[in-house]
């Protein structure tokens, strides 16, 4: 059977940095199907093939239009359609509408949907009637079994982790325990427009950046997290050697200079993390490492931070979540504020920028609690704090508490910003904006200090021993572009190759 896998357009109000990259989930599914030898796979990557942004109200849309997607579909042959839904703001609504168009255009061709949002909201998707099957949780095993069943091999009721219709009713078979990820083939990146992702991925560096998953799941139980519903509770990590092998493959096959690790919790097994860092160092892989999902602060040590820096870590995203002790206890975050300050200081000593997220507007928080959270976050010394509003995702403990407090109906869609016991949604948004403006002011104040100029800004963008003062004058006058020009000028005077400025 031939299946056409579709990565739909990205629809978001969020920073593209956190959401744009090759779709690893779909690429793993494609690899699993290819490995069977029984099924053919073709990919229509509507986001990877995009060349422009569009806007729809407050949303940014990055990807092919629905008409372009349908036109490309008409030019190929397939027996089934698979589509992923990650849920970036209104993406679910757009994907649902696209599925309805595909159903009308290609009657009789089964449409299979998967991804995080389908796993959390499978009943809603099946109720709409625009998809025929839903894959829940990890998709590599059930998608193969489903296609086998559609060809007459196996019964749908025996497949764990799917939804289907039978006799007019929706049947759901819960997912089984998380599979052994050490046996999975690497993502089938060769089926995706990788050059577009590597060329266009928005980073702070002018280099080709790729994404990787080294583990699945998280053993902790944060009140706001829905990861357990998608990956299960049992954390599973790939071997350090296999991870480093894949990184080396990305460097050699795709000329990658930066790797983004998208694990939910990269630090669960410290020895494994150390072995990954050691492998990168020993093989001489000249890469930059970034971990966008963040690092759990209580699992991070100064020693491990130093080793990750030597392996290529370029910045640190730690998970503070709140500066209020009562809120931290509620969300099950075991964070010692004094340790947080020590880690930030250690990162700065290593010339690493440190960022964090702070969540405001938990259902019980009053004005004093939010003010305390902001005060503590600003006192730690982070280079940047992103303040976000609490979102009670379906099937999380936080969602249950919102419902119990009478703030949401059990099946009511979550529309941000949500009301709390003390604030209306628009009032929370105003408090969040005030906190973000405060952080912006603090960041600007820090940027003009000698420690920032000599200890972070200059080493971050250029490294020219013995010329710090000369370069500092250009940082103050013109920023990054003038620094790059200054470095090229200096190199020309030295008779060196005039390449682009690089971080030290």
DSSP labels, 28-76: HHHHHHHHHSS-EEEEEETTTT---EEEETTEEEES--HHHHHHHHHTS
The pLDDT, as a whole number, for residue 57 is 66
- Please report whether residue 502 resides in a domain: no
3-state secondary structure of 285: coil
Residues 408 and 437 in one domain: yes
Residues 256 and 399 in one domain: yes
- The structure's pTM equals 0.84
Distance in angstroms (rounded) separating the CA atoms of residues 351 and 315: 9
Residues 406 and 259 in one domain: yes
- Please report whether residue 297 resides in a domain: yes
Cis omega (within 30 of 0) for bond into 417? yes
Last residue of a domain, one of 114, 146, 173: 173
CATH for 169: 3.40.50.2300
Edge-first strand order for the sheet with 209-212 is: 209-212, 258-261, 288-290
- Please report whether residue 500 resides in a domain: no
Last residue of a domain, one of 145, 173, 201: 173
Query: 46 with 53: CB under 8 angstroms?
Result: no
Cα angle 219-223-226, degrees, rounded to a multiple of 5: 65
Half-sphere exposure for 42 (CA within 13 Å, toward CB)? 14
Residues 407 and 483 in one domain: no
- Please report whether residue 501 resides in a domain: no
- Please report whether residue 139 resides in a domain: yes
The DSSP output letter for 288 is E
Distance in angstroms (rounded) separating the CA atoms of residues 311 and 281: 5
Q: 490 lies in which domain range? A: 455-494
Distance in angstroms (rounded) separating the CA atoms of residues 311 and 87: 33
Residues 14 and 111 in one domain: yes
CATH for 351: 3.80.30.20
- Please report whether residue 488 resides in a domain: yes
Half-sphere exposure for 112 (CA within 13 Å, toward CB)? 23
Distance in angstroms (rounded) separating the CA atoms of residues 186 and 119: 23
Last residue of a domain, one of 405, 420, 444: 444
Residues 218 and 94 in one domain: no
Give the pLDDT of the chain (504 residues) as one tens digit per residue: 999 999 998 777 665 554 567 899 999 999 999 999 999 999 999 988 886 666 666 667 788 989 999 999 999 999 999 999 876 555 677 888 899 999 999 999 999 999 988 998 898 889 888 899 999 999 999 999 999 999 999 899 999 999 999 988 999 999 988 889 999 999 999 999 998 888 766 555 568 889 999 999 988 878 888 888 788 888 999 999 999 999 999 999 999 999 999 999 999 999 999 999 999 999 999 999 999 888 988 888 889 999 999 999 998 999 899 999 999 999 988 788 888 898 899 999 898 999 999 999 999 999 999 999 999 999 999 999 999 999 998 889 999 999 999 999 988 888 889 999 999 999 999 999 999 999 999 988 877 766 555 555 555 444 333 333 333 333 334 444 544 554 455 455 545 443 333 333
The pLDDT, as a whole number, for residue 79 is 97
Residues 306 and 432 in one domain: yes
The pLDDT, as a whole number, for residue 96 is 87
Query: 143 with 113: CB under 8 angstroms?
Result: no
The pLDDT, as a whole number, for residue 496 is 45
Phi, psi of 457 (to 5 degrees): -60, -50
Distance in angstroms (rounded) separating the CA atoms of residues 392 and 193: 35
Phi, psi of 12 (to 5 degrees): -160, 155
Residues 52 and 167 in one domain: yes
- Please report whether residue 428 resides in a domain: yes
Residues 152 and 275 in one domain: no
Residues 224 and 145 in one domain: no
- Number of H helices and E strands in the chain, helices first, is 20, 18
Comparing C-alpha atoms, which of 225, 350, 210 is closest to residue 292? 210
* Longest CA span, the chain: 79
The pLDDT, as a whole number, for residue 163 is 96
Residues 330 and 203 in one domain: yes
Residues 279 and 304 in one domain: yes
Spell out where 232-370 has E strands: 236-237, 258-261, 288-290, 315-321, 353-360
Domain count, the chain: 3
- Please report whether residue 179 resides in a domain: no
The pLDDT, as a whole number, for residue 228 is 80
């Amino acid at each position: 059977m031939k299946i056409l896998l579709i990565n739909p357009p990205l629809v978001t109000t969020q920073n593209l940095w956190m959401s744009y990259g090759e779709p690893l989930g779909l690429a793993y599914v494609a690899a699993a199907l290819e490995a069977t030898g029984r099924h053919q796979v073709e990919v229509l990557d509507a986001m990877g093939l995009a060349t422009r942004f569009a806007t729809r109200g407050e949303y940014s849309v990055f990807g092919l239009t629905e008409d372009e997607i349908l036109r490309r579909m008409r030019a190929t042959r397939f027996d089934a359609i698979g589509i992923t839904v990650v849920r970036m703001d209104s993406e679910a609504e757009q994907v649902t509408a696209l599925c309805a168009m595909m159903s009308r255009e290609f009657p009789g061709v089964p449409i299979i949907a998967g991804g995080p949002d389908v796993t959390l909201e499978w009943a809603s998707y099946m109720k709409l009637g625009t998809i025929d099957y839903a894959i829940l949780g990890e998709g590599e095993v059930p998608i193969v079994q489903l296609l086998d069943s559609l060809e007459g091999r196996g019964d749908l009721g025996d497949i764990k982790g799917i939804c289907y219709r039978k006799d007019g009713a929706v049947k759901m078979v819960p997912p089984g325990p998380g599979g052994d990820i050490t046996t999975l083939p690497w993502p089938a990146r060769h089926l995706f427009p990788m050059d577009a992702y590597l060329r266009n991925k928005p980073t702070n560096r002018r280099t080709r950046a790729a994404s990787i998953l080294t583990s699945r799941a998280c053993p902790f139980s944060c009140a706001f997290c829905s990861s357990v519903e998608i990956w299960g509770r049992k954390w599973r990590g790939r071997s350090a050697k296999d991870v480093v092998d894949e990184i080396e493959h990305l460097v050699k096959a795709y000329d990658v200079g930066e790797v983004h690790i998208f694990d939910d919790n990269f630090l669960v097994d410290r020895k494994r993390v150390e072995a990954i860092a050691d492998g990168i160092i020993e093989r001489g892989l000249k890469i930059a490492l970034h971990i966008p999902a963040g690092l759990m602060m209580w699992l991070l040590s100064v020693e491990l931070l130093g080793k990750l820096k030597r392996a290529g870590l370029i910045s640190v995203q730690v998970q503070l979540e709140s500066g209020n002790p009562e809120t931290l206890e509620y969300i099950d975050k075991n964070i010692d504020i004094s340790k947080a300050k020590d880690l930030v200081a250690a990162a700065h000593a290593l010339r690493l920028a440190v960022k964090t997220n702070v969540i405001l507007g938990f259902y019980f928080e009053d004005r004093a609690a939010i003010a305390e959270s902001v005060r503590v976050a600003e006192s730690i010394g982070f280079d940047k704090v992103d303040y976000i509003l609490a979102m009670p995702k379906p099937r999380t403990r936080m969602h249950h508490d919102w419902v119990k407090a009478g703030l949401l109906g059990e099946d009511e869609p979550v529309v941000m910003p949500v009301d709390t016991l003390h604030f209306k949604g628009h009032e929370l948004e105003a408090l969040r904006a005030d906190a973000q403006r405060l952080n912006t002011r603090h960041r600007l104040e820090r940027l003009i200090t000698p420690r920032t100029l000599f200890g972070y800004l200059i080493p971050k963008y250029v490294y020219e021993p013995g010329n710090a003062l000369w370069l500092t004058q250009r940082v103050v006058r013109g920023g990054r572009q003038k620094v790059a020009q200054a470095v090229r000028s200096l190199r020309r005077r030295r008779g060196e190759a005039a390449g682009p400025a690089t971080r030290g």
